[in-house]
């Protein structure tokens, strides 16, 4: 994701970062987390868990902003986020010469 317009104070802004933890044995493969993750961090894996369900996997771990939506919507208590190291927002800025999204 890139900013469409670069804010003037972008150097001072820190973006929170989350680390997603998944208990794959509790998962029943409903895909609520994958569908509603606002940053598309998760994807359903091709592998099965012990009950035969496809479980979610973290595919874009750098994109997670620790919003906690996956934790709140998971009906199985199988996924949660912990706070990671916040990163500078400047990394999201459109670089000179790059086309704005």
Partner 1 sequence: MNVTEQPFSQSLEIPSTEESLKHPMEDYLRIERFPHIWCATCGLGTVLTAFITGLQKSELDPDKVSVVSGIGCTGRSAGYLRLDSFHSTHGRAVPFATGLALGNPELKVAVISGDGDLIAIGGNHFIHTARRNIDMTVICVNNFNYAMTGGQAGPTTPLTANASTAPYGCYEYPFNLPYLAESSGAVYVARWTALHIRRLANAICEALLKPGFSFIEVICPCSTLYARRNRLGSGLDLMKHYHDQAIIRHGADTSELQIDFQKEIIVGKFVDIEKPTFARKRDDYLSERLGKDYVPYKGP
- List residues near partner 1 by CB under 8 A: 21-26, 28-32, 35, 47, 49-51, 53, 69, 71-77, 80, 82
The CA distance from 24 to 10, in Å, is 37
Minimum distance from CB of 92 to partner 1 (Å)?
Answer: 24
Minimum distance from CB of 67 to partner 1 (Å)?
Answer: 10
| Closest to 7 in 3D by CA, of 100, 95, 96, 89 | 89
In degrees, to the nearest 5, what angle opens at C-alpha 3 toward C-alphas 5 and 65?
145
Minimum distance from CB of 47 to partner 1 (Å)?
Answer: 8
Which of residues 24 and 42 has its CB atom nearest to partner 1 in the complex?
A: 24
């Amino acid at each position: 994701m890139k900013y469409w317009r670069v804010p003037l104070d972008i150097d001072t802004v820190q973006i929170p970062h989350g680390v997603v933890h998944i208990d794959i044995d509790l998962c029943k493969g409903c895909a609520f987390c994958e569908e509603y993750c606002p940053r598309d961090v998760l994807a359903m894996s091709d592998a099965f868990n012990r009950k035969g369900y496809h479980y979610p996997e973290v595919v874009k771990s750098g994109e997670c902003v620790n919003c906690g939506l996956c934790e709140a919507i998971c009906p199985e208590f199988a996924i949660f986020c912990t706070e990671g190291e916040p990163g500078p927002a400047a990394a999201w800025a459109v670089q000179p010469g790059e086309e704005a999204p």
